[in-house]
Amino acid sequence: MSEPLEIEHKWLIEYPDISQLEKMDNFECSEIEQIYIEHTEHGVKGRIRKRGKNGNFKYYKTFKKKVSNLTRIEYESEISEEEYNRLAKTKRTGYNIISKTRYVFNFQNFTYEVDRFPFWSDRAFMECEVESEDVAVPIPDCVRVIKEVTDDKRYKNSYLARKITTEELNL
């Protein structure tokens, strides 16, 4: 059996016009709370996530192992609210809870996720999962890319949980 791979591009983007995102195909919006935990599975420490809207949430635990700058082995499973609350008590020391709003939409047969954080008013993240590392990803017209950050560890959520990146963007 092959390992479950996540192959993903990531960009730092200007704060998006949400009304433009809402016009995209298959638009969805959800609230996410993400906690990095001491709990280890598959040889790595993981995270838990609460995701949903209007009081309807699902809970997940995820463990990722780096294969390359674009590819990770990702073990993710849905968990109960009780397990989420139990694992939340094992939050890693020095890591803050990440809260974000996620906008998901389709463009040219690709699914994009835009994450907006409460600590940034001028930027957000956009991610797109692909089938292989050599796939070229089109950028939606409603998004202005500042730079690709797939290879930049400062733009990983686990890094943001420790230190919010505030570099001058010169937009």
Per-residue pLDDT, 69 = 87
Amino acid code (one letter) for 8: E
Instruction: Annotate the chain with DSSP letters as a single string.
Output: ----EEEEEEEEEEPP-HHHHTTSEEEEEEEEEEEEEEEEETTEEEEEEEEEETTEEEEEEEEEEESSSSEEEEEEEEE-HHHHHHHHTTBPTT-PPEEEEEEEEEETTEEEEEEE-TT-SSEEEEEEE-SSTT---PPPTT--EEEE-TT-GGGSHHHHTT---------
- pLDDT higher at 165 or 105: 105
Domain ranges of the chain: 5-160
Residue-wise pLDDT tens digits, 48-104: 999 999 999 999 999 999 999 889 999 999 999 999 999 999 999 999 999 999 999
- How far is 33 from 48, CA to CA, in rounded Å? 8
Residue-wise pLDDT tens digits, 17-53: 999 999 999 999 999 999 999 988 888 999 999 999 9
> Exposure pattern of 95-106 as b/e (b: 16+ CB <10 Å)?
bbebebbbbbbe
- How far is 19 from 68, CA to CA, in rounded Å? 35
Per-residue pLDDT, 165 = 61
Confidence of residue 168 (pLDDT cuts 50, 70, 90): low
The reported pTM is 0.91
Residue-wise pLDDT tens digits, 107-134: 999 999 999 999 899 999 999 999 999 9
Residue with tokens 């109960």: 80
Confidence of residue 163 (pLDDT cuts 50, 70, 90): confident
Contact 4, 73 (CB under 8 A): yes
Mean pLDDT (whole number) for 136-163? 93
Per-residue pLDDT, 3 = 79
Options 3.50.50.60, 2.40.30.10, 3.40.250.10, 2.40.320.10; CATH for 5-160 is 2.40.320.10
- How far is 149 from 48, CA to CA, in rounded Å? 23
- How far is 38 from 75, CA to CA, in rounded Å? 16
Per-residue pLDDT, 1 = 52
Per-residue pLDDT, 171 = 42
